[in-house]
Chains A and B, each alone.
Chain A
Amino acid sequence: MVEKKKTTTKKTETKKKDTKKVAPVKQEIKKQAPVKTGPSEKPRIGVFICHCGTNIAGSIDIKDLEAYAKTIPNVAHTDNYQYVCSTPGQKKITDAIRDQKLTGTVVAACSPRLHEPTFRTATKEGGLNQFRFEMANIREQNAWVHMHDKEGATDKAKDTIRIAVAKASLLEDLTPKTVPVEKAAMVVGAGIAGMQAALDLAAAGIKTYLIESAPSIGGRMSQLDKTFPTLDCSQCILTPKMVDVGRDSNIELYTYSEVDAVEGYIGNFDVTIRKKARGVLTMAEAEARGIIGGGCNGCGDCDPVCPVVKPNVFEMGMKPRKAIYINHPQVVPLLYTIDFDSCVKCGLCVTACGPERKAIDLEAKDEFIKVKVGTAILATGFELFPIEKKTEWGYKKFENVITGLEFERLICASGPTSGHLVRPSDGETPKRIAFLLCAGSRDNTGVGKPYCSRFCCMYSLKHAHQIYEKIPGAQTYIFYMDIRSFGKAYEEFYYRIQDEGTKFVRGRVANILEDPKSKNLHVYADDTLLDRPMDLEVDLVVLASAVQPSEDTNRTRKLFGVSCSMDGWLLEAHPKLNPCGTTTAGVFLAGVCQGPKDIPDTVASAEGAASAASIPIHKGEVELEPYFATCIEEKCAGCGMCVNLCPYSALALVDKDGRTVMEVTEAKCKGCGTCGGFCPGGAIWMNHFATPQIVAQIDAFLLGGEQ
């Protein structure tokens, strides 16, 4: 309906080239088809040049530029100001629109990412449609990069303004489209980030689907023993939250599940959840099958009878588990899982479970569940970089070289050794322990990771402390390049650890060799402060391995249309001012999936993401930029080639008045222009980036202002 009306107006426009000037359209009218207006008899464009302090004025001759702007065709008014984005600067725009009867505005200033919304608002307040505004970027793409060439920069700014005026002369009134928002959210990943985000959303009254690929929630934090710098027990502060997540009536928890498919857009995401075959029924599932009072109650009767033994991934493979298992005693939900990759289907567990509970179903299959959500948060977390790739440190080659996460399990009271730190080679208590920081981080060789993993300094300090807590007479060494103790009370913690006796060696370890008899390790490094190479014999080496995005991050992010940076971390909308948002409207990031974070930062990021994700839901509707493609139906031949080209599945062929034509689902269209550029019949009109507008810009550039 909307498209049809618009295409008709488009037709009118092409026929009657000059209609009279259009009165400003009131933006409050929603859902109304945008009124497409042709260029008025004579476009009257106002050009406003911003000094941006000395950011622009320092490398561009503003006077010369304004004098030139006056000579550009269609320019009816020019002005310059120190900061056009300030209140007086904006007032210059609104006043000029009224007084000079402008039909469009051009602001020559910074990047549209920074102030386009500001100047659109000013244009709207002056009485014009906000899409009658065009920005000429003379700061980021000019003044800043040509700061040593004032003349060249000024010439380039003239081109930029001339091009912007050409486009502004042809801009049309457009109306943002509003779509309703489903009052539900999804959180992918139930580590501390995902749990916190889900709890916040649930507390705000939003139905939240929490999806976790592991059999239980808690993520990496549940594997940790103590947390820095306060040294409180990780499980003790985490389990209450885990229990809350399990209990909250607004949270629908899907463990051992993955996101399988995502369709739709902000406000209306249709998500398919794949519940992996678990082979064990919850009490509710059992009741649904008519087994009253049945289902898994976590009694564990199945565990001892199972004949299959596998390494427990939660314990970093240092403890066995059965084919039917729970990861640790405090799991939420308390529900067993069958690992069907190793289960031999002997049926002993079914017998042990008994005819009353009947919780085990060895023929279980994956289930697919469809839910609709308004917004989604990705909290897919991290895993350790496979540090054995840095062969010089001998991980997986020398038994007594372990990672920080293995250390956490070995020092944890609920871990495989009940909290007794031992050497993997002989079970002896180590007395001399070396910690290697930046193991695989800050590495530009292409093998490791170029970034700082951010929390390894602090957890290694904490590890050193835990050694002195448990092993009297031990000596710890921390090999470091820089100690990054940036957080609240972190530097004080560093002071405390040094006071406890840890020797800090400023040098990166070159290599490690093993004494084949004693299995002791020789650590070779340069004590750069002493300027002396060293060969240090120790009993145990702990590598503070770099972190990387968790295995499934890339698949999941693609489903939600989220970009990632070169190193795989998910890309935020703005690194400083929008760290939780993404470039896909309605999808947000929480925790380490966006970049390495310690627990306080992760929780803060999760709360930020939850807050951001709840805004569209509470608002009830969202405004979409009207940059979508529209079909000029009388030109469309119905060939359908655009349909397959569209990366957002926004186009479809429909029958209208006996003809096959293309139809755009506006809410799905991102205005990328792929279809518009391709259409052999020129039948696709890209709002705000229409062919005549772009051609006018190219002409303005190439012809240097001649018509």
Chain B
Amino acid sequence: MVRTKGYPAALDQKLQDTRLHNDDSNPEFTKNVKAISRTTAHMCYQCGTCTGSCPSAPRSTYRIRKFMRRAVLGLENEALTDPDLWLCTTCYSCSDRCPRDIIPTDVIMAMRNLAFKRDIIPVNFLKTVQSIYKTGHGVPNNDVNRAAREKIGLSRDPPTTHMYPEYIPGIQKILDHYNLKANSDRIVKEREG
């Protein structure tokens, strides 16, 4: 970027040109999102039914409609580097109501996939991967839960990998097939040392 003569760096940053330029759009991004999400993201007409339905939106800066717009325009960098991408709870309320019959939730999932290819992912997501690799659960059972389960007459552990740990290697095999564990370990190490 060309520095404006005599301006301090912060002001220079503030005054930079934020207009949308031709080369901000990557048509391949629109195609990739469509291919991965298997939904017609490019058909969004920006009515806002998705954000209006979103339980995350009123309490955060997450705007699903904005991501749909980025999918339409192919704004790859803007979409993938926005930390809001990771605020979707995947409740699918937007997908239930979208009048264009798009599945915005799956558009978000596609974008997350593309972001992960560029190592863009919050560490807590990676720790979930590590936990699944270790226990078969994203949120493993704990003693508070076990006590509560016992109180209402359930077994201490649910009939999952907790009760049948012999199935954990199978899960590990799947995650290894996609190098998910190795990549997670690598990125966590890079960020946290």
Q: A residues within 8 A CB of B48?
A: 506-508, 510, 525-528
Most buried by A among B43, B52, B63, B65: B52
Bound CA–CA A448/B54 (angstroms): 22
- A510 and B99 contact, CB distance less than 8 A: no
Q: A residues within 8 A CB of B50?
A: 510, 526
Confirm or deny: B51 has a beta carbon within 8 angstroms of a beta carbon on chain A: yes
- A444 and B52 contact, CB distance less than 8 A: no
Contact residues, A627-645 vs B (CB, 8 A): none
Contact residues, B93-107 vs A (CB, 8 A): 97-101
Q: B residues within 8 A CB of A448?
A: 99
CB distance from A94 to the nearest CB of B (A): 51
Confirm or deny: A493 has a beta carbon within 8 angstroms of a beta carbon on chain B: no
- B63 and A444 contact, CB distance less than 8 A: no
Q: Write the A465-501 contact mask toward B (1 if CB under 8 angstroms, else 0).
A: 0000000000000000100000000000000000000
User: Number of contacts between A and B (CB, 8 Å)?
Assistant: 68
- A481 and B58 contact, CB distance less than 8 A: no
- B97 and A510 contact, CB distance less than 8 A: yes
- A446 and B52 contact, CB distance less than 8 A: no
Confirm or deny: B126 has a beta carbon within 8 angstroms of a beta carbon on chain A: no
Confirm or deny: A442 has a beta carbon within 8 angstroms of a beta carbon on chain B: yes
- B57 and A526 contact, CB distance less than 8 A: yes
Q: A residues within 8 A CB of B66?
A: 531
Q: Write the B34-70 contact mask toward A (1 if CB under 8 angstroms, else 0).
A: 0000000001011111111110011000010110000
- B99 and A533 contact, CB distance less than 8 A: no
Bound CA–CA A445/B46 (angstroms): 16
Most buried by B among A438, A508, A531: A508
Q: Give the size range of A's interface with the partner.
A: 20 to 34
Bound CA–CA A114/B171 (angstroms): 64
Q: B residues within 8 A CB of A438?
A: 47, 99
**Do A481 and B47 form a contact, CB below 8 Å, given A442-B99, A445-B101?**
yes
Q: B residues within 8 A CB of A511?
A: 52-53, 97
**Do A533 and B45 form a contact, CB below 8 Å, given A443-B99, A444-B99?**
no
Confirm or deny: A392 has a beta carbon within 8 angstroms of a beta carbon on chain B: yes
Contact for A524 among B45, B53, B98, CB less than 8 A = B53
- A508 and B99 contact, CB distance less than 8 A: yes
Bound CA–CA A442/B47 (angstroms): 11
CB distance from A222 to the nearest CB of B (A): 32
**Do A526 and B100 form a contact, CB below 8 Å, given A531-B66, A533-B54, A533-B58?**
no
Contact for A533 among B43, B47, B52, CB less than 8 A = B52
Bound CA–CA A531/B57 (angstroms): 10
- B101 and A446 contact, CB distance less than 8 A: yes
Contact for B53 among A442, A445, A510, CB less than 8 A = A510
Nearest CB in chain A to that of B40: its residue: A444
Bound CA–CA A695/B67 (angstroms): 58
Bound CA–CA A525/B57 (angstroms): 11
**Do A445 and B98 form a contact, CB below 8 Å, given A526-B65, A528-B46, A533-B57?**
yes
CB distance from A382 to the nearest CB of B (A): 21
Bound CA–CA A481/B45 (angstroms): 9
CB distance from A45 to the nearest CB of B (A): 49
Q: Write the B157-174 contact mask toward A (1 if CB under 8 angstroms, else 0).
A: 000000000000000000
Q: Write the A495-534 contact mask toward B (1 if CB under 8 angstroms, else 0).
A: 0000000000011111100000000000011111001011
Q: B residues within 8 A CB of A528?
A: 46-48, 51, 65
Bound CA–CA A499/B98 (angstroms): 32
CB distance from B105 to the nearest CB of A (A): 15
Nearest CB in chain A to that of B59: its residue: A533
Q: B residues within 8 A CB of A481?
A: 45-47
Contact for A526 among B43, B52, B99, B101, CB less than 8 A = B52
Q: A residues within 8 A CB of B65?
A: 526, 528
Bound CA–CA A626/B20 (angstroms): 62
Bound CA–CA A533/B97 (angstroms): 15
CB distance from A478 to the nearest CB of B (A): 14
Bound CA–CA A221/B58 (angstroms): 43
Q: A residues within 8 A CB of B51?
A: 510, 526, 528, 533
Contact for B97 among A392, A507, A527, CB less than 8 A = A392
- B101 and A508 contact, CB distance less than 8 A: no
Q: B residues within 8 A CB of A508?
A: 47-49, 52, 99
CB distance from B5 to the nearest CB of A (A): 35
- A445 and B99 contact, CB distance less than 8 A: yes
Bound CA–CA A444/B40 (angstroms): 12
Bound CA–CA A507/B46 (angstroms): 8
Bound CA–CA A442/B100 (angstroms): 8
Nearest CB in chain A to that of B43: its residue: A444
Nearest CB in chain B to that of A506: its residue: B48
CB distance from B106 to the nearest CB of A (A): 15
**Do A444 and B101 form a contact, CB below 8 Å, given A509-B52, A531-B66?**
yes
Nearest CB in chain B to that of A444: its residue: B101
Nearest CB in chain B to that of A442: its residue: B99
Bound CA–CA A508/B97 (angstroms): 10
Q: B residues within 8 A CB of A446?
A: 101
Q: B residues within 8 A CB of A526?
A: 48-52, 57, 63, 65
- B99 and A525 contact, CB distance less than 8 A: no
CB distance from A524 to the nearest CB of B (A): 5
Q: B residues within 8 A CB of A507?
A: 47-49, 52
Q: B residues within 8 A CB of A392?
A: 97
Which 8 residue pairs are nearest across A and B when measured between Cβ atoms?
Answer: A510-B52, A526-B48, A508-B47, A526-B51, A507-B48, A510-B53, A528-B48, A526-B52
Q: Could you list some 28 contacts between A and B, CB below 8 A?
A: A438-B99, A442-B99, A443-B99, A444-B99, A444-B100, A444-B101, A445-B98, A445-B99, A446-B101, A448-B99, A481-B45, A507-B52, A508-B47, A509-B49, A509-B52, A510-B49, A510-B50, A525-B49, A526-B50, A526-B51, A526-B52, A526-B63, A526-B65, A528-B48, A528-B65, A533-B51, A534-B52, A535-B58
Q: Which residues of A contact B (CB under 8 A)?
A: 392, 438, 442-446, 448, 481, 506-511, 524-528, 531, 533-535
Given contacts A438-B99, A508-B49, A525-B49, 14 further A-B contacts (CB under 8 A): A443-B99, A444-B100, A445-B101, A481-B46, A481-B47, A508-B47, A509-B52, A510-B53, A510-B97, A511-B53, A526-B63, A528-B65, A531-B63, A531-B66
